[in-house]
Amino acid sequence: MTLYLASGSPRRAELLQQIAVPFTVLKAPDIDERPLHNEDPQSYVERMAKEKSRVGELRRQSEGLPDGAVLGADTAVVLGKEILGKPRDRDHALQMLRALSGNEHQVISALALTQGQACSLACSITLVRFRELNEHQLARYVATGEGDDKAGGYGIQGLGGALVAQLTGSYSGVVGLPLEQTVALLEQAGLDYWRID
């Protein structure tokens, strides 16, 4: 069975490659990613993952691609009850990183695997604590541009790893695709990993 990844994230593709899963990338779904009124962060992330998977399945059908399973994923950085999305600009990134400095936040990653009408869901919640960072350090990191397209304005797998003091949970979940939950969904669907030919 073919696995389709409904995501334009190179980091998610790299994580699937890391565990040797054969997959085909579908064009990233174009959906409204605004939270609903009073929607809690976990419900929001799960809804986004399901929507991306559903839209990916519709795209697979419309393009006449072979049957398979479509994996959608979403990740949010949450400080308190506030979802910190991708920064609007570098000033916004600096503002978010100031708020994260010295504090603990959650990174919630949800996965949805759609096969026809059926959809399986999994979620990972990781606690991340930033070091106490001064204005110069924050400004230097923002100037690298690494966090421009990332939730919370940072990427743990790159230069942003130096911002982190402690992590409890899934490192790969913070990157954007929690491998423990991914493997569980793949196994349920009868999809292979560790395909070393």
Catalytic residues: 74
Among residues 68, 86, 67, which one has the least CA distance to residue 76?
86
Count other Cβ atoms within 10 Å, centred on residue 34: 9
Q: Hey, what's the torsion of the CAs at 9, 14, 19, 22, to 10 degrees? A: 70
**Residues 163/131, Cβ–Cβ less than 8 Å:** yes
